[in-house]
């Protein structure tokens, strides 16, 4: 008897500031033919960010916002029909230490401890332009 795919288990393979790599267990049954996976990524407002169909058990999402929770939904489908929808939440990383600024952002640093050496701030764009250092007192 041919049956729909079993419920996949979603795993977060890689989590970065602006990207996610999601994988899941594959379903295989020689009588059921190829399995395709419908994968959807929604943001915290339930707005669909991206939706794709794949035969792989791994998918990458890029150009995401950092420190943002996304909902990942996976549905496996074979010749017998769709399986059970599986959903999980995953949050992109929060910047810490080194950060990146968009070109239209302004940055203000206040150095509160005047008894020690001045705070140094180095700013370098991602195109390897010269580094600019500003001393803030």
Inside any domain, residue 100:
no
Q: What is the mean pLDDT of residues 52-70?
A: 92
- Cβ-based neighbours of 57, under 8 Å, separated by 6 or more: 8, 23, 24, 25, 26, 37
Inside any domain, residue 32:
yes
Q: Half-sphere exposure of 1 toward its Cβ, with a 13 Å CA cutoff?
A: 2
Inside any domain, residue 111:
no
Domain count for the chain: 1
Inside any domain, residue 128:
no
Residue 22 has pLDDT above 90, yes or no: yes
Average pLDDT, rounded, for the chain: 76
Angle at Cα 52 formed by Cα 48 and Cα 57, nearest 5°? 120
* pLDDT grade for 130, boundaries at 50, 70 and 90: very low
């Amino acid at each position: 008897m041919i049956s729909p795919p079993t419920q996949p288990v979603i795993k977060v393979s890689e989590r970065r500031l602006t990207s996610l790599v999601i994988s899941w267990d594959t379903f295989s049954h020689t009588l059921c033919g190829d399995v395709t996976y419908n994968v959807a990524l929604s943001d915290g407002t339930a707005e669909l960010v991206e939706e794709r169909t794949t035969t792989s058990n791994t998918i990458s999402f890029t150009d995401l916002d950092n420190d943002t929770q996304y909902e990942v939904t996976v549905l496996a489908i074979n010749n017998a029909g769709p399986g059970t929808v599986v959903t999980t939440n995953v949050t992109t990383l929060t910047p810490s230490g080194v950060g990146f600024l968009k070109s239209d952002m302004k940055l203000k640093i206040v150095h509160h401890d005047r008894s020690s050496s001045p705070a140094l701030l180095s700013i370098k764009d991602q195109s390897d332009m010269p580094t600019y250092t500003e001393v803030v007192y």
